[in-house]
Amino acid sequence: MKRDEFISVMSKELKLVRTEYDLTQERMAFCLGISKKTLVEIEKGRTPMGWSVAVTLAEIFSESTVLQNTFGGDVDDMIKAMAFDEMGINFRQTHGGKVFWRQIEVTDKWKIQQNYISQHYRLLTASNRCVYSSFHLDKVRKAAQEYEKEV
């Protein structure tokens, strides 16, 4: 998934998330740091939200059932994959991908998984800490090789 695709999906899901949390347009606009007029324009499909608003929506409403079902669980890894596509960063501890993830490759030191819905990949340590995430399997495999040299 590319940033523009993510923004498009988030723009379409905005009203559902707002309804899920029982927020008025005014309150949702305040939460996102935008004007009510801008929120209305986004909800009516007249204008897409920007990257910052899409990320803000995903982070503030990370517990949203709408967003979790749309993206296959926590969107945090996916956002980081888009934001840090060309670089590695330290991610958080995971539960090992029991619901929205399929195993691609597994060794005794790491595993590569792919999200069923968003289709992005992640590299987990044997203890299920995410050390890399990307939409490109070859980049994740390269990160796995580098990780193996470090441990």
CATH code, 17: 1.10.260.40
- The verdict on residue 146 lying in a domain is yes
Dihedrals phi, psi of 18, to nearest 5 degrees: -60, -45
CA dist., res. 86 & res. 104, Å (int):
21
Residue 90: exposed, middle, or buried by beta-carbon count in 10 A (0-12, 13-18, 19+)?
exposed
Q: At which of 15, 47, 71 does a domain end?
A: 71
pTM of the model: 0.62
User: Are 101 and 142 part of one and the same domain?
Assistant: yes
Residue 131: inside a domain, yes or no?
A: yes
For residue 13, give Cα distances in angstroms to 7, 8, 47: 10, 9, 14
How many separate domains does the chain show?
Answer: 2
- Residue 91 is predicted with a pLDDT of 59
83-118: pLDDT as tens digits: 876 555 555 667 666 778 999 999 999 999 998 888
Mean pLDDT of 48-76: 90
Q: Are residues 56 and 16 in the same domain?
A: yes
DSSP letters for 83-139: HTTTS-----B----SSSEEEEEE-SSEEEEEETTT--EEEEETT-BEEEEES-HHH
Query: Residue range 67-80: average pLDDT?
Result: 82
